[in-house]
Amino acid sequence: MGTVSNQRASELPRRQLWVAYVVGAFGLGLAHQANFLTPLRAHELGASLQVIGLIVGAGSLVPAVTSVPLGRVIDRLGPRRSFIVSAAASTVVALLFVTVTNYWTLLVLQLVLGGVRTMGWLASQTYITSLGSADDRAMLSGRFSFFTNVGTMVGPLMAGLVAQVVGFRLAFAWLAFYALVFAIIGTMLVETRAADRSPQRKGEGAGFRVAVKLLGVRGMQVALLLTFVRLWNEFIWSSFFPVHLVDIGFEPGVVGTVVFMKGLVATLLAPTVGYWIRFMSPQSLAALGLGFGALGLVVSPHVTALPWVYTASLLVGIGAGFSLPLLLAIIGDAVSSEQRGIALGLRMMVNQMAGGAAPVVVGPLIAALGVVLGFGSAGLFAGGLLIVARMLHASDRHVRTA
């Protein structure tokens, strides 16, 4: 099979580009659907709230541990083949969910699904960052992120509709169908480069030694700080702001529209990053967008009346929409194609760390200081990290131009 790399996006077949964009809906789309159905099925099987929390959390535990080794596998196999394997394996695991009659078995399958679908998510990111030239990377990643955001919005909606008709158990067959469709779509991809069939280099192991070396790359340092802020902002806002709105009297349906608006803003903005980086670097634009997200945390407790409550959705959505495609572009520029899978796995690890730390740290803070000071402190902390990221980027640019 042929490969495509180092070509301008305008030189690539349009069909090839569209397939690359569409596969972005697989990883997070499947994760959101599984996280929607699994707790409902566990509750139906008699699991307590504590056990349900453990089962849901298991889906994030495996990606935190395995993302770097999976990135190494992707670098060796190639992103196309890795994506197909992931989607096919996810199909099988989703079908196994249908057979489950014990909620502890759900826990085991959540662990397995967390690993196999993460491989597909990393492979799709590796693929899109390997297409086109460096000048095209932000534009391509923006369009890819559009489909990612669509998958996270539409997927759970479809899973809910299916569950309403056939029940929570059989609804997992929809997940299997969803994954199977993407396994078929994956066969339409053209590999961006030949798979690395060389013997494993001495000392690389599962990729952790390479990951440690990448931590010394200034561009990666900037990207990892920015990705930490991205997940910090989103997890805090989505975990605590809806609860606060319900506590002060908002109807759950209205709260749902507030959360939906954040996703809608992110979806609409992601494809525009190719235009905005004409005026500033990807690092500066990502920091600016995430700065709006941090501001969203600070102002959220102060905009709790209609229609002003949607201001918080707008601000956090701006950060979410700009940051993902730009982070992919930044990492694509910072490392070679042979190490891109490991680099993206390292980003995934930091994501899981931020997603796990944010609610654990800020929850008690809100309980002790109140919503205003708790959200304000979280937003200021995010702003401080963004300042550090900008300083690192400025020093990196000075070294490059010296």
Whole-angstrom Cα Rg for the chain = 21
Q: What is the pLDDT of residue 275?
A: 84
Domains, in order of start, for the chain = 9-193 (1.20.1250.20), 210-401 (1.20.1250.20)
Exposed, middle or buried: residue 94 (CB in 10 Å: 0-12, 13-18, 19+)?
buried
Nearest to 56 by CA among 47, 66, 67, 65: 47
Q: Cβ distance 179 to 31 under 8 Å?
A: no
Mean pLDDT score of the chain:
81
Is 266 a residue whose pLDDT tops 90?
A: no
Is 277 a residue whose pLDDT tops 70?
A: yes
Q: What is the pLDDT of residue 36?
A: 76
Axis crossing angle, helix 49-77 with helix 79-98, rounded to the nearest 10: 150
Residue range 210-264, pLDDT digits in tens: 777 877 778 888 888 998 999 888 878 876 777 778 788 877 667 767 877 888 8
Q: Which residue has the tokens 């304000």?
A: 376
Q: What is the pLDDT of residue 93?
A: 95
Nearest to 144 by CA among 332, 2, 314, 284: 332
Q: How far is CA 402 from CA 281, 283, 395, 398, 399, in A?
A: 18, 19, 10, 6, 5
Is 2 a residue whose pLDDT tops 50?
A: no
Nearest to 185 by CA among 401, 394, 15: 15
pLDDT-derived band at 202 (thresholds 50, 70, 90) equals: very low
Residue range 97-140, pLDDT digits in tens: 999 988 889 888 988 998 898 899 889 988 888 887 777 777 88
pTM: 0.75
